[in-house]
Amino acid sequence: MARLKAATLQFTKLAIVWLMALFVISAYELVVNALSRDLPKEWAGIVFWSLGADAVFWLKWLVFLYIVFVVLYFAYSRLAKLLFSVFIVILIITHVLLVQYFNTSLTPLGSDLYGYSIADIKQTVGASGGVNIFMIVGILILLASVMAALKYVPRWIKLPIWIAALVLTISMGTNIFATFPEAIRPSYASDFANNLALNKADYFFTASYFHFFAEEEEVDIYADAYIGDYLTTSEKLKEFAYLDKDQYPFYHKEEHYKELRQHGRSYPATF
Q: What is the DSSP string of 90-104?
A: HHHHHHHHHHHHHHH
Residue 258: what pLDDT? 40
Residue 218: what pLDDT? 56
Contact, 120 vs 252, CB < 8 A?
no
Which helix (H) or strand (E) segment holds residue 135: the answer is helix 133-156
DSSP string, 32-60: HHHHHSPPPTTHHHHHHHHHHHHHHHHHH
Question: Which residues, 6 or more positions from 128, have their beta carbon under 8 angstroms from its beta carbon?
Answer: 101, 104, 105
Left if phi > 0, otherwise alpha if psi is -120 to 50, otherwise beta: which for 180? beta
Q: Where are the beta strands (DSSP E) in 112-236?
A: none
Residue 251: what pLDDT? 56
How far lies 57's CA from each of 10, 20, 25, 111, 198, in Å? 20, 13, 13, 17, 10
100-127 burial string, b = 16+ CB within 10 Å, else e? bbbbbbebbbbbbeeeeeeebeebbeeb
Q: pLDDT digit of tens for each residue in the chain (271 aa)?
A: 889 999 999 999 999 999 999 999 998 888 888 877 777 777 788 888 899 999 999 999 999 999 999 999 999 999 999 999 999 999 999 998 888 888 887 888 888 778 777 777 666 666 555 556 777 787 788 888 888 999 899 989 888 999 999 999 999 988 877 655 555 667 777 888 888 888 899 989 888 888 888 766 555 555 554 444 444 444 444 455 655 666 656 555 544 434 333 334 333 443 3
Strand 252-258 relative to strand 237-242, pairing: antiparallel
How far lies 1's CA from each of 4, 8, 62, 157, 228, in Å? 5, 11, 20, 21, 64
| Stated pTM of the model | 0.73
Question: Which residues, 6 or more positions from 156, have their beta carbon under 8 angstroms from its beta carbon?
Answer: none
Distance between CA 206 and CA 158 in Å, rounded?
33
Residue 100: what pLDDT? 85
